[in-house]
Structure 1
Amino acid sequence: MNKENLAIVIGGTGAIGNAVAHEIEKLGFKEVLRIGTKSTPSLNFNDESTIVKAAEFIKKKNKQISILFDATGVLHYENFMPEKTFKNINFKFMEKNFLINAIGPALLIKHFAPLLDNQKKSVFATLSAKVGSINDNNYGGWYSYRASKAALNQLIKTISIEMKIKNKQAIFIALHPGTVNSNLSKPFQKNNLKIQEASESAQNLIKIIKSIDQSASGKFYNWDGSILPW
């Protein structure tokens, strides 16, 4: 990767996003941008025009992107929690999950994929979740989160196919960070569950990004580097 290029973390103020940004800085990138709802430029998945403006801001720097890490995601918010049964399915909650977990990343692909380095290795990585794996779904429940992350996985697979023609240097991957000590996971932390600090998870994820080549594009990685089934 060309470390003179840009590295961007979308959602860089969250637990994982902030830790990932720090790990990328350690790689030697001269400019690591954290972009979110309160940054300059700001970016909000509720408003595509903010994504357009953020991409235009990047274009004006006359640098390509070597790493774009999408650290956004929602599992619960306000009084809504993941559904235990189909009877709990709620339009507003499912809409929110798809907006943040699938539609938003799709718009990032639309506006930022063309800015990825086409001369040297570049990576578009997004935080998915193991529960988004259809093949690995053995327990049911969590309808909105599972479905929205499965949609995200399909987006990554699909863009990887298209970009093999348009930019052979670009790698698109989905990453499961494990259970990380964050606001997202706090309601679901159990004594027998392996919980990582954000810094540990970020180190694992960046290790994957550093090690992969173009053959990895369109794959779904667990935090330990193993491949997860779609």
Structure 2
Amino acid sequence: MTDLASFPSGGLAVIFGASGGIGDALTDAVVATERFERVIGLSRRAGDFDLTNAESIEKAAAALSATGLPLRLVIVATGLLHDGDLQPEKSWRQLEADRLARSFAVNATGPALLARHLLPLLPREGKAVFAALSAKVGSIGDNQLGGWYGYRAAKAALNQLLHTAAIELRRTRPEALCVTLHPGTVATALSAPFGGSGHEPVAPAIAAQRLLGVIDGLGPDENGLFLDHSGSPLPW
């Protein structure tokens, strides 16, 4: 069980997507470390937050800034793989503009806009981390099976957006990091319909501890990387 001792004590931690399976477990785990003065969880159900609404993102950033606490840890634990008529595409014949746009809105655009508004709030000194959950299927180099066009492409876009942001972040906040993380297969509503994929899902609480262990171990050389839940780099 990690205590996030690599972070200065005090300050603010925020988890977006806090009502989801991984987000809820991450929120509980971060609170349990007692490392931060305040931990805030935001989602549609927890804090009336809408990742697909630019005004909602700006409002959340303003509220976090208004706490007056240094923003030490941001975890974006959001993701959309399936929802109603939105299902992973098995063929290019299933590609539709509105479904692609929806996947990108949640999996790439929303987290990127969070980075736009929150990276400037990270302290200029001391460790701070902006981490967003990506997915191994977003790796272009690792794609051997095809399918899942929208989700793969949106997560690949997320990786590039935050890798680019990490380069800019380094110029003014050399001890801060911006990374994307693959949590593995977790027993949540997102992965439930795909339990036969050959990967045994782990409980959200276990996934949360693994991810926090990776975050705790991050150093300046890991800024901008795409890492799995063991801390190993994944191919772009």
Q: Paired residue for 2:120?
A: 114
The aligned length equals: 229
Contact 1:122 1:171 survives alignment (8 Å): yes
Distance between the aligned counterparts of 2:197 and 2:88, measured in 1?
20
Matched, 1:56 2:39: no
For 2:26, the equivalent position in structure 1 comes to 20
Distance apart, 1:195 and its partner CA: 1.0
Match in the other structure for 2:133: 127
2:82–2:88 contact (8 Å) kept in structure 1: yes
Q: TM-score, normalised by structure 1?
A: 0.96
1:31 and 2:38 aligned: yes
Equivalent in the alignment of 2:4: none
1:164 is matched with 170
Aligned-residue offset at 1:27:
1.9
**Counterpart for residue 82 of structure 1:** 88
Please give the alpha-carbon distance, in whole angstroms, between the structure 1 residues aligned to 2:51 and 2:29. Answer: 25
The alpha carbon displacement at 1:224 in A equals 1.6
Q: Is 1:68 aligned with 2:74?
A: yes
What is the CA distance between 1:79 and its match in structure 2?
2.0
Q: Decide which moves more: 192-201 or 8-17.
A: 192-201
List per-residue Cα deviations over 1:189-208 (Å, max 9, x = no partner). 02742211100100000000
Q: Deviations over 1:77-96 (max 9, x none)?
A: 11221000000112221111
Residues 32-81 of structure 1 show CA distances to partners (whole Å, capped at 9, x for unaligned) of 100112333x3212321111111111111111111100001100111221
- Structure 1 segments of 4+ aligned residues over 6 angstroms from their partners: none
- Give yes or no for contact 1:13–1:36 (8 Å, CA) kept in 2: yes
Residues of 2 paired with 1:43 and 1:112: CA distance? Answer: 15
Q: Is the 8 A contact 1:43 1:54 kept in 2?
A: yes
1:157-196 residue CA offsets vs partner (Å, 9 max, x unmatched): 1001111102112101110000100000011002742211
Amino acid at match of 1:80: L
Map 1:207-226 → 2, pairs under 5 A: 207-226=213-232
CA distance in 2, matches of 1:163, 1:79: 38
Q: C-alpha separation between the residues in 2 aligned to 1:226 and 1:197?
A: 20
Amino acid corresponding to residue 101 of structure 2 in structure 1? E
Give the Cα separation in 2 of the matches to 1:15 and 1:51.
21
* Structure 2 segments unaligned to the other structure (5+ residues): 1-6
In the TM superposition, residue 13 of structure 1 has moved relative to its aligned partner by: 0.8
Report the alpha carbon displacement of residue 118 of structure 1 after superposing the two structures with TM: 1.8
The residue identity in structure 2 corresponding to 1:143 is: Y
Q: Is the 8 A contact 1:3 1:66 kept in 2?
A: no
| 2:51 is equivalent to residue 45 of structure 1 | yes
- The percent identity for this pair of structures is 38
| Matched position secondary structure for 1:75 | coil
2:174 aligned partner, one-letter code: K
CA RMSD of aligned residues (A): 1.2
How many Å separate the matches in 2 of 1:24 and 1:45? 21
Q: What are structure 1's unaligned runs of at least 5 residues? A: none
Distance in 1, Cα, partners of 2:197 & 2:122 = 41
Matching residue within 96, 101, 107 for 2:107: 101
